[in-house]
Amino acid sequence: MLKEDFTRYKKLYRENLFDNVIPFWMTHSLDKRNGGYYSCLKTNGDVYDTEKLIWLQCRQVWTFAKFYNEIERNTEWLNIAKHGADFLEKHGRDKAGNWYFSLQEKGAPLIQPYNIFSDCFAAMAFSQLSKALNNENYTRIAKQTFENILLRQSNPKGTYNKSYPGTRELKNLALPMILSNLVQELSHILDETTVKDQLTSVKDLIINQFYNADKGIIVENVGPNGEFVDSFAGRLVNPGHGLETLWFLMDVGEKLKDPKLIEKCANIVISTLEYSWDKDHGGIFYFMDLKGNPPEQLEWDQKLWWPHIEAMIACLKGFYHTQNPELWQWFVKLHDYTWGKFVDEEHGEWFGYLSREGKVTHDLKGGKWKGCFHVPRGLFNLWQLMDKLEKMQEKKVPIAQL
């Protein structure tokens, strides 16, 4: 590839972020009467449901605070982040400090704090905002929330866990995956020992227990000691989760100065894509069964926005570190599919849900599971990685030739 390739992609991602995606959320999502954000938005940005999902509120705070910190000291972005944080601080937690799953429009609790991921994204949001404002209160909220996550990590759902105790015990990938990123996000407010210990722990757990070497992929659930459990949950593969985890772990490898971890993760990216790519219609399957059985999830063959953009980051980050041309080839393949299917140049933002054949099945831009996060974060990461690759060629650093 040529320097012009990196420059062209960089320009495309930057322009889509600034001209298409950020303006969509700035224009349509703010609830200026009650505080917080609307995330359930139609194609044109009209609100179709007023429920406020805590994790999506937090993700949007994080996005605008992150961009304020790392792109431009834009006071409008900072005010948007603070607009969400004020609503969350006032309404988001129960008396024990656990973050609810969702709220009504004006902030009354709607769904109990059964899901620890609300807490994870709250810690991310307030940590990023504390960096922007050097605000001790935001730092305290982030630290308290993180400490609560660590206390709950052995049983994240607590009293809301539906499993019968002592029967089929499983460990789930989601929390160690999020911690591999969350700890790095909070590294400016945590001591170095905690950061190193936590990152080493989650890295070892994911690679030694959730990575299935026979298939070359990461699975969603394992037994207490990392063993395979032959059940719907034990056979579940979510390729998007695996690919997102892998680029988190590449960042962990940078942080821990572990090039072997980075190389291993880059190789697993390739094997994951080879395993999960739909050879008939293109795109990444949403869910798969490790043994090739009928997946439990009826939506298993849908193509979703977030696995594709996370896969693009994983490929490009792996290529940046290893110069493996296979990763560039996969990146181009993913880009072509993603850009041709998900991006809405007319109304802004991206569509989220496609049929197996690649047709839009839901014309929403935001909903219960899609908000202001994967697309803007992904575009930012891709733009930054293209910029690094462009600079490498300017400095005549060797880059693998295809």
208 and 275 together in one domain: yes
Integer Cα distance of 238 and 258 in angstroms: 26
Residue 135's domain spans which residues? 50-162
Beta pairing partners, 303: 354
Is 157 or 151 the better-scoring residue by pLDDT? 151
Coil vs helix vs strand at 85: helix
Mean pLDDT to the nearest integer, 191-195: 96
Q: Is residue 120 part of a domain?
A: yes
Residue with the bigger pLDDT between 162 and 147: it is 147
If one counts the domains in the chain, the total is 2
Say if residue 226 is in the same domain as residue 307. Answer: yes
Give kind and range of the element (H or E) at residue 141: helix 136-152
Whether residue 37 has pLDDT greater than 80: yes
Residue 5's CB is within 10 A of a number of other CB atoms, namely 16
CA angle at 19 for the pair 6 and 306, rounded to the nearest 5°:
70
Percent of the chain with pLDDT over 70: 98
- Phi, psi at residue 370, to the nearest 5°? -120, 125
Per-residue pLDDT at 1: 61
**pLDDT for 301-344, tens place per residue?**
999 999 999 999 999 999 999 999 999 999 999 999 999 999 99
Q: Residue count of the chain, please give it.
A: 402
Q: Cα–Cα distance between 5 and 134 in angstroms, integer?
A: 39
Q: Is 161 helix (H, G, I), strand (E, B) or coil?
A: coil
Asked if 222 and 196 count as a contact pair (C-beta separation under 8 A), the reply is no
Task: Indicate the pairing of strand 360-362 with strand 47-49.
Answer: unpaired
pLDDT above 90 (res 168): no
Q: Is residue 356 part of a domain?
A: no
Q: Compute CA 302 distance to the chain's CA centroid, rounded to the nearest angstrom.
A: 18
Is residue 184 located within the same domain as residue 231?
Answer: yes
Q: What is the pLDDT, as a whole number, of residue 399?
A: 60
Reported confidence tier of residue 150, pLDDT bands at 50, 70, 90: very high
Looking at the fold, whether 264 and 147 belong to one and the same domain comes out as no
- Examine the domain organization and report whether 192 and 316 are in the same domain: yes
329 shares its domain with 240: yes
Is 150 a domain residue? yes
Give the per-residue pLDDT at 2: 72
Does 57 fall in a domain? yes
Q: What is the mean pLDDT of residues 375-386?
A: 98
What is the value of pTM for the model shown? Answer: 0.96
Co-location of 183 and 322 in the same domain? yes
pLDDT of residue 138: 98
CATH of the domain at 321: 1.50.10.10
In a domain, 31, yes or no: no
Residue 401 forms part of a structural domain: yes
Task: Say whether both 321 and 183 belong to one domain.
Answer: yes
Q: How far apart are CA 378 and CA 98, in angstroms?
A: 28
Give per-residue pLDDT as tens, 53-103.
Answer: 999 999 999 999 999 999 999 999 999 999 999 999 999 999 999 999 999
Do 182 and 145 belong together in one domain?
no
My answer on whether 123 and 227 are in the same domain is: no
Return the pLDDT at 75: 98
DSSP state of 135: -
Report helix, strand and coil shares of the chain as percent, to nearest 5: 55, 10, 35
402 pLDDT more than 60 = no
Res 158: pLDDT: 79
Do 244 and 305 lie in one domain? The reply is: yes
CA distance 314 to 360: 24
- Residue 75 and residue 115 in one domain: yes
The burial class, CB within 10 Å (0-12 / 13-18 / 19+), for 242 is buried
